[in-house]
A = this chain, B = another copy of it.
Amino acid sequence: VDLVRADGRLLRLGHRTVKGVTGLDLTSLVIGSEGTLGVIVAATLKLRRLVPGEVRTLAATFPDVRAAATAAAAVTAAGIQPAIMELMDAASLAAAHALLSLAPPAAGTAQLTIQTDGPAASVEAEAISAVLADAGGTVVLAQDREEGERLLTVRRSMHPAMETLGHTLIEDVAVPRSALPAMFDEIARVEREHGVTIPTVAHAGDGNLHPNFVFPATPLADGTVEVPAHIWAAADDLFRSALRLGGTLTGEHGIGVLKRRWLADELGTDQWELQRDITRVFDPAGILNPGKVFTP
């Protein structure tokens, strides 16, 4: 990573070698620092080769989201690592079916969509199918790539389908994979107690959930949409649930402005201050991405 520091000096971080342990790992420190340590002006990426061979795709429906989440945790516990393992709760699945003009799923139905790849793709897809059936799922294993793509299209329609319901605040919590069923219980509780609808998809193989807080949109004069206070109250409740379950505020997308007020809840005050002090080593005057991440 090539990083321009606050004083304008260019730093070249990292190694061109597969292994390298010289000094502190500043490359990892800079990745995900959201512009608080410098401006990244070049990055050299490690590429992975395409996995050779065919992929296998399957979908399984479950009577409720807890059963689907439990089945996803069972796949993980069985030691099989699919390339894709996506979970859609009932509200997401119903909205995607409606958007695609598919027959509506039975009330409460949740779905897992799974893909395997590599030389053991078929063996693993069969093993996963057995785990899901044992967990109460109704499994469809695609027989060719076209059928596989049709199964994936339902998941890929989630975000367009949400746009038909209203405006959404898309969240990004993650929990230990074994805690996925408990996290869905918490989402149901938050929906109930706050009177909001939270269709949720999850990268179930990672324990990373994207709850979509749906609300009617009233654009401001400049065309932007402000998230209403009662939605933030529900999100606050959900964030605290994820932290209680050993999880994190953000699996993928970072803190930015919207989550800076919860950052110390996850890090603790000591670590929050230490992280801010590290940003000051890079940027004593506080000119880099001001107001983001570490602003109290």
CA distance A205 to B17 in the complex (A): 11
Partner of A18, one of B28, B208, B253, B255: B208
Q: Is A88 an interface residue (CB 8 A)?
A: no
Partner of A174, one of B18, B23, B26: B18
Q: Is A153 an interface residue (CB 8 A)?
A: no
Partner of A248, one of B22, B120, B268: B22
Chain B nearest CB from A148 CB (Å) reads 21
Measured CB to CB, the nearest residue on chain B to A120 is B119
Which of the segments A29-37, A58-66, A133-141 contacts the partner chain?
A: A29-37
Q: Is A106 an interface residue (CB 8 A)?
A: no
Residue interface mask A231-266, B partner, CB < 8 A = 1: 000000000000000111111111100000001001
Partner of A21, one of B177, B205, B253, B272: B253
Q: Is A293 an interface residue (CB 8 A)?
A: yes
Is A266 a contact partner of B22 (Cβ separation < 8 A)?
yes
Q: Which of A192-241 contact B (CB under 8 A)?
A: 203, 205-208
Partner of A247, one of B12, B17, B29, B205: B17
Which residues of B lie under 8 Å from residue A278 when comparing CB positions? 24, 278, 281
CA distance A10 to B118 in the complex (A): 43
Q: Is A20 an interface residue (CB 8 A)?
A: yes
CA distance A119 to B267 in the complex (A): 41
- Determine the main DSSP class of A at the interface with B: loop
Give the copy number. Answer: 2
Chain B nearest CB from A114 CB (Å) reads 16
Is B274 a contact partner of A22 (Cβ separation < 8 A)?
no
Q: Is A130 an interface residue (CB 8 A)?
A: no
Residue interface mask A119-131, B partner, CB < 8 A = 1: 1100100000000
Q: Is A176 an interface residue (CB 8 A)?
A: yes
Q: Is A25 an interface residue (CB 8 A)?
A: yes
* Extra A-B contacts (20), CB below 8 Å, given A21-B32, A23-B272: A11-B270, A11-B274, A12-B271, A17-B206, A18-B208, A19-B248, A19-B251, A20-B251, A22-B249, A22-B250, A23-B271, A23-B294, A24-B275, A25-B32, A26-B271, A28-B29, A118-B120, A119-B119, A119-B123, A274-B281
Binding site for B on A (CB under 8 A): 5, 9, 11-13, 15-26, 28-29, 31-33, 36-37, 49, 79, 118-120, 123, 174-177, 203, 205-208, 246-255, 263, 266-268, 270-272, 274-275, 277-279, 281-282, 293-294
In the complex, 15 of the A-B residue pairs with CB atoms within 8 angstroms, ordered by the A residue number, are A12-B268, A15-B174, A17-B247, A18-B177, A18-B205, A19-B174, A19-B203, A21-B248, A21-B250, A21-B254, A23-B271, A23-B272, A23-B294, A25-B29, A26-B275
